[in-house]
Structure 1
Amino acid sequence: MNKVSSRRVICMAGETKHTQVQSLLVGFSIVDLIVKNNAPMKFNDIHYETKITKSNLYKYLNTLTSLGILHRDKESGLYTTGSTLVQYGMAAVNKEDIIDKVNPFLQDINLQLKETTLLAVWTQNGPMIVKMIHSSLGLNLGGQVGTLLPIHSAAGKLFSAYKHDPMAATWKDKEEYQLSDSQQTELKEEQQLIIHQKIAFAKGALASSVASTAIPIFDFNRELIGSIIVVGFENNIPQEIDHEQNQYLLEKANEISAVFGGQVMD
C-alpha cells in the first residue's frame, strides 16, 4: 500500500482525471471490509485481508474508532461498525422514513402518558434509540439518541425474542455473557411470554428506580422493524399486561404496524 496522502488517479471508465485522497480510500476500504463481512473481525483478519502494514492499520483503526465509524469491543478486541456509521447508514437505507412515519404516533403516546417516549431500531450492535421525546417534566432517564440498549432493557428483551439471524445471535451471545445463569434463565422465560403477549417490561435497565415498557412494530413480513418504548419512574410504569396503559400501548402498536403493512395482534 503506497504511503502517500494524496495522488492523481485516472478514471479508466471515463478516461478523465480526478483528485482523490489516498488515505480516505484506504480508510473506506477497511470500513467496507468490516461491513461486508457481516460479523465482528479480529485485527489479524483485517490485516490479512487488506495487506496494510500493522503499524498503519493500527492508526486507521484507532482513528475510525475514535470517530465512531467503527467500534472495538474492549473484552474481545473485535471490530464492528460503530454508532456513527449506523446513523449514516440509517439515512442511506431510509430508516429516517421509519422515524417520519412513527413520529406522529410517538407524539400521541407522549402526550397521552406524559412519559419519555422512544423509538428504537435494530442495528448490527443491537437496538439503538433513534428518536426521543422527553416527559413533560423533561427528565433524563438514562438514554439519548444513539444509545445502544442492553438485552435486559424492555426493548432489548423484545428484540431478543423476535430477532433470530446470525447478527442478532452474536449480539445475544455477547449480552447474555454478562448475565448470571439465573438471569439468563429468567430472560429466556420472558422471551416466550413476550412472543405471546407482544409487550415487554423492564426495571432498572438504564438507571435505578426507572422502568420501561416496549411494544413492537412489525412490517408486512412479520419482521420486527422497530420498537416504541415508554420510560419513567417505576411507580409510573405499570408492568401488568392487563393495565389500561398497556392495553392502550398494544392498540397503538397495532396502528403503527399497520402503516408498514403489519399487525401485532392476530
Structure 2
Amino acid sequence: MNDELEGKHGVQSLEVGISILRAMAAGKRSMMLKDIALAADMPPSKAHRYLVSLIRTGLVEQDRLTSRYDLGPFALNLGLVALDRVDRIRLGLAAITDLRDVTNETIALAVWNDNGPVIVRWERPRKPITVNVLTGTNLRLLSSAAGRVFSAWLPEAQTEATLRQEIESGKAPADIRTLEDARHLLADVRKQGIAVISRHYFARNVEAAAVPVFNFKNEIAMAIAIVGVKDTLDLETGSSTLAALRQAGRALSVRLGATISSDTAADPAPSSD
C-alpha cells in the first residue's frame, strides 16, 4: 500500500531539488546561495543541504574562489543529450496540426535549405474552399510570409544575394525597389514579430501570415505560416487567428529550447554572423 501511494505522489525531495535546478537555470549565470534560496522560495539552510547533494551528483558545481554555484557537468550532459534527441520536424508537424485544429485554416511548416525557404508539410482545414500548399515548394523571400520571416532573422549575408535577385528580376512586391526598401520591410517584421501579407503575395488571391520558430541557440529554425483565400482570413492586428499563430510559434520555440519571454512572439535578434 505504501509503495502504491509513493508511486502516485512521487518523491517530494526530488521535486525540491529540481526546483533549485530550475531557479539556477532561470538565473542564466552562477549564483550565490542566498539568491538561489530566494529564487527557489526556501530558506538558505534548506537550499544548502540540497546543493550539497546536487554537487555530489554532478548536477551542480561550486566555484571555490567566489562560492557561487552553477550548473555542473552532468546537467550539461543531460541538456546536450536532450537536444540531440529533439526531432524538430516531428514537433513542428504536431504544432501545425494543432494550429489547424484551432483555426480551421491551411497551416504550413517551412524550413531553410540551400535554395531558400521550402514547405516541408502542410495541413488542410475542414472547409469547402481552401488553399492547397504543395510540399517541396520553394518560397520567395519578399513575396511570401515565411520568406519574409526567414529573411528577417537570418544573417543578411545569407540572404542578400537572393534578395537582390528578386528585386532586380521584378519578383519582389512593387513597393520594394531597392535593398534598402527590403531592409526597412524586414526591420518592421522583426519589430512586429510576425510577417503578414494581404497583397503582393506571390500567388494570386492568396494572403498569409508567418512567425519564426527558434532553436536552443536562439537562431531561426523553422517558420509556421497560415494561408488562406484573400479576404477570408482575419489578419488584423489583435485577431484571434494571429494570436493563435503567435502562440504556436512561441510554444514550439520554447519546446526547442529557445529563450522567449512570455509577452512577445519573437525575441531573438538576427545573427550578425
Q: TM-score scaled to structure 2, two decimals?
A: 0.57
Matched, 1:102 2:92: yes
CA shift at 1:166, angstroms?
A: 3.4
The whole-number CA distance in structure 1 between the counterparts of 2:105 and 2:130 is: 11
Deviations 1:239-258 (A, max 9, x none): 33322221221122110101
The whole-number CA distance in structure 2 between the counterparts of 1:241 and 1:144 is: 28
Are residues 240 and 156 of structure 1, via their aligned partners in 2, closer, same or farther at CA, if it must alter by over 3 Å? same
Structure 1: 5+ residue stretches without partners: 1-93
The whole-number CA distance in structure 1 between the counterparts of 2:128 and 2:163 is: 32
Give the structure 2 partner of residue 153 of structure 1. 144
CA shift at 1:134, angstroms?
A: 1.3
The whole-number CA distance in structure 1 between the counterparts of 2:173 and 2:244 is: 34
Q: Which runs of 4+ in 1 moved over 4 A?
A: none
| Equivalent of residue 213 in structure 1, options 209, 226, 239 | 209
Give the structure 1 partner of residue 107 of structure 2. 117
Deviations 1:33-84 (A, max 9, x none): xxxxxxxxxxxxxxxxxxxxxxxxxxxxxxxxxxxxxxxxxxxxxxxxxxxx
Contact between 1:117 and 1:134, CA under 8 Å: does it hold in 2? yes
CA shift at 1:225, angstroms?
A: 0.7
Contact between 1:120 and 1:129, CA under 8 Å: does it hold in 2? yes
Aligned-pair identity in percent equals: 26
CA shift at 1:260, angstroms?
A: 0.9
Give the structure 1 partner of residue 176 of structure 2. 183
CA shift at 1:101, angstroms?
A: 1.1
Are residues 245 and 180 of structure 1, via their aligned partners in 2, closer, same or farther at CA, if it must alter by over 3 Å? closer
CA shift at 1:190, angstroms?
A: 2.4
Matched, 1:144 2:140: no
| More strand, by proportion | 1
The whole-number CA distance in structure 1 between the counterparts of 2:222 and 2:128 is: 24
Aligned residues: 172
CA shift at 1:184, angstroms?
A: 3.6
Structure 2: 5+ residue stretches without partners: 1-83, 268-273
Contact between 1:143 and 1:206, CA under 8 Å: does it hold in 2? no
Give the residue type in structure 2 aligned to 1:196: K
Alignment RMSD: 2.4
| Equivalent of residue 224 in structure 1, options 220, 225, 229 | 220
Give the structure 2 partner of residue 258 of structure 1. 254
The whole-number CA distance in structure 1 between the counterparts of 2:111 and 2:156 is: 15
SS at match of 1:104: helix
Give the residue type in structure 1 aligned to 2:116: G
1:1-266 aligned within 5 A: 97-137=87-127, 141=131, 143-151=133-141, 152-164=143-155, 166-177=157-168, 178=170, 179=172, 182-184=175-177, 187-203=182-198, 204-262=200-258, 263=260, 264-266=265-267
The whole-number CA distance in structure 2 between the counterparts of 1:196 and 1:220 is: 21
SS at match of 2:87: helix
CA shift at 1:234, angstroms?
A: 2.0
Contact between 1:199 and 1:213, CA under 8 Å: does it hold in 2? yes
Give the residue type in structure 2 aligned to 1:259: R
CA shift at 1:180, angstroms?
A: 6.7
Instruction: Identify the structure with bigger relative contact order (alpha carbons < 8 Å, sequence gap 6+).
Output: 2
SS at match of 2:160: helix
Give the structure 2 partner of residue 49 of structure 1. none
Are residues 258 and 209 of structure 1, via their aligned partners in 2, closer, same or farther at CA, if it must alter by over 3 Å? same
Are residues 265 and 153 of structure 1, via their aligned partners in 2, closer, same or farther at CA, if it must alter by over 3 Å? closer
Give the structure 1 partner of residue 7 of structure 2. none
Give the residue type in structure 2 aligned to 1:176: I
The whole-number CA distance in structure 1 between the counterparts of 2:237 and 2:216 is: 25
Q: TM-score scaled to structure 1, two decimals?
A: 0.58
SS at match of 1:235: coil
Contact between 1:99 and 1:131, CA under 8 Å: does it hold in 2? no
Is the radius of gyration larger for structure 1 or structure 2? 2
